[in-house]
């Protein structure tokens, strides 16, 4: 079977590394040393992904998939018309979700760090904000997973598997839209 490489090893490693770090922090939510270091790891992964968005491979670059208003509105209009364009990389809705998830991890890392400083140690409002952000991230992850399953079904393509091995089928790619066109 012919394949097209879409997700490079760095994208896949950062994606699954972030998933593990976030899951680890939800399992170990006590705020102890392990929780803090998992949070720092998640922040490091997000910073690496942002850097890779400028210097990485074609489908990793922000310029390829960044959800500009025109891209998002065109995608939404196509959906409303019953059209379901397939993108090799992130579709505009997926791009919005990706940015949302990255921003949530940054916000969680920032509030988590602040809780350990002298200026904010023991501040209840900050702990509550951190918890709200954590559950908002969890809801976003749930939506991300549901969308990946739904899009896999709709396009008859296993998107989670593509994020493991990096490849998509070329016969689908020939009908695809590049995000930067």
CATH number at residue 139: 1.20.950
Residue at 60 is within a domain: yes
Over residues 138-160, the pLDDT tens digits come to 999 999 999 999 999 998 899 99
Question: Is the residue at 181 inside a domain?
Answer: no
Pick from 86, 93, 90: which is nearest to 143 by CA?
93
How many domains would you assign to the chain?
A: 1
Q: Is residue 140 part of a domain?
A: yes
Cα separation of 102 and 151, whole Å?
A: 21
Domain contains 55: yes
Residue 179, domain member (yes or no): no
Does any domain span residue 180? Answer: no
Whether 178 maps to a domain, the answer reads no
Q: How far apart are CA 155 and CA 126, in angstroms?
A: 42
The predicted-structure confidence for 16-34, as pLDDT tens digits, reads as follows 999 999 999 999 887 789 9
pTM, rounded to two decimals: 0.89
pLDDT at 12: 97
Average the pLDDT over 156-168 and give the result: 93
The token pair at 77 is 């209009």
Q: What is the pLDDT of residues 36-74, one digit of tens each?
A: 999 999 999 999 999 999 999 999 999 999 999 999 999
Cross-strand pairs, 4: 168
Task: Name the 3-class secondary structure at 152.
Answer: helix
Q: Is 114 a member of any domain?
A: yes
Cβ neighbours of residue 9 closer than 8 Å, sequence gap 6 or more:
166
For 164, the domain range is 4-173
């Amino acid at each position: 079977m012919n394949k097209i490489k879409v997700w490079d090893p760095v994208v896949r490693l950062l994606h699954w590394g972030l998933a593990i770090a976030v899951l680890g922090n939800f399992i170990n939510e006590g705020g102890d040393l392990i929780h803090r270091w998992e949070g720092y790891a998640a922040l490091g992964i997000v910073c690496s992904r942002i850097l890779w968005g400028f210097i990485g491979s074609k489908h990793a670059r922000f310029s390829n998939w960044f959800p500009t208003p025109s891209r998002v509105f065109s995608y939404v209009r196509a959906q409303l018309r019953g059209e379901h364009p397939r993108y090799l990389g992130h579709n505009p809705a997926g791009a919005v979700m990706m940015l949302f998830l990255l921003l949530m991890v940054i916000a969680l890392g920032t509030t988590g760090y602040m809780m350990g400083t002298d200026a904010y140690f023991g501040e209840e409002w900050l702990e509550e904000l951190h918890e709200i952000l954590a559950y908002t991230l969890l809801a976003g992850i749930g939506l991300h997973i549901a969308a990946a399953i739904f899009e896999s079904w709709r396009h008859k393509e296993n998107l989670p598997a593509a994020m493991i091995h990096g490849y998509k089928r070329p016969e689908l790619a020939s009908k695809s839209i590049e995000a930067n066109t």
